[in-house]
Amino acid sequence: MTEAAPASVEVRDLEKRYGETVGLGSVSLAVEPGELFGVIGPDGAGKSTLFRILVTVLTPDAGTAMVDGLDVVADYREIRKRVGYMPGRFSLYQDLTVRENLEFFASVFGTTVEAGYSLIAPIYSQIEPFEDRRAGALSGGMKQKLALSCALVHRPRALILDEPTTGVDAVSRVEFWEMLAEMTAAGITTLVSTPYMDEAARCDRIALLQAGRLLSAPGTPEAVAASFGAPLVSVRATGDRAALLDRLRAAPGVARADVFGDVVHVTGEGEPSASAALAERLRQSLGVEAAPTAPTVEDVFMARMGDPDTLSSHVQPTDA
């Protein structure tokens, strides 16, 4: 039997505090080589803190973090040569042109645009007709492509992207995730954070992060959704939505009710097999349109983020 390849990114009991505020609270996870791994959570969850430690911009207060087999504290200089990083805010030089930005970042890593062009070509070719335009004059989607090209031009072993699709239009979001799929197909390990629950489905595996702690063991989006473990019913939201929520939350056997677009997801008590019975009770007692529904990653996140007992810091990657 051949040994499994070591993790591309491995975090163990990682902690970071900002005064009394917990940035990360004993977080552990591992990202496999060539994997597209998503860290899902809202603003303030700790995603940027985790990523800044991984790219050696911050040092942890406790625990260890390894990237490509190197320690983020002891081997920070070498790690910086091996990772590509896109911070949450557009951080390229606004007054330089597209081409000048790309050439600058290539020179920082001791390489050239020509040497890395075959890797970035699928992305850069889309903005190359505008290579003489200043970066500050680009649209959000074009800035995104330029930033990704600059992060990839030195052919990194790992790509770390902090909320890369925040603030861009829906079409650009879809295009960007298609580009990430191409990068992982090329063998680049990609770690991406996002506050958008719908983007979780595009990852090979995900981890849910809130208040600096993991809400569940990392796993495939399907496995995380399947871990919901309670009855779940979808109720059509009509009329006074606030009044409907109050009625649903006060109904016997209801643990919580959350708005999901034009429906309300109602979580019951007991096993998932009780979903049909819960839907029938709600139809009979409240006169609402209700039906069992399959849980999503967002359902899992909503159910667990408000329950301190579900916060899990020492988690291991799942086989799912």
Average pLDDT over residues 171-189: 89
Q: For residues 255 and 268, is the Cβ–Cβ distance under 8 A?
A: yes
DSSP 32: -
Q: For residues 102 and 153, is the Cβ–Cβ distance under 8 A?
A: yes
- What the block records as the tokens of 88 is 């949450």
101 torsion bin: left (phi>0), alpha (psi -120 to 50), beta (else): alpha
pLDDT tens for 34-84 read 999 999 999 999 999 999 999 999 999 999 999 999 999 999 999 999 999
Looking at residue 314, its pLDDT comes to 30
* Intervals of CATH 3.40.50.300 along the chain: 9-225
Q: Residue 156 and residue 158: Cα distance in Å, rounded?
A: 5
DSSP 113: H
pLDDT tens for 9-29 read 999 999 999 999 999 999 999
* Intervals of CATH 3.30.70 along the chain: 229-294
Q: Contacts from 177-181 at CB under 8 Å and sequence distance 24+? A: 177/202, 179/122, 179/123, 179/145, 179/148, 180/36, 181/36
Tell the CATH topology of 229-294: Alpha-Beta Plaits (3.30.70)
Please name every residue paired with 209 in a beta bridge, in sequence order, or none if there are none: 214
Q: Could you tell me the CATH superfamily of domain 9-225? A: P-loop containing nucleotide triphosphate hydrolases (3.40.50.300)
Confidence of residue 90 (pLDDT cuts 50, 70, 90): confident
At residue 92, the 3 state secondary structure works out as: coil
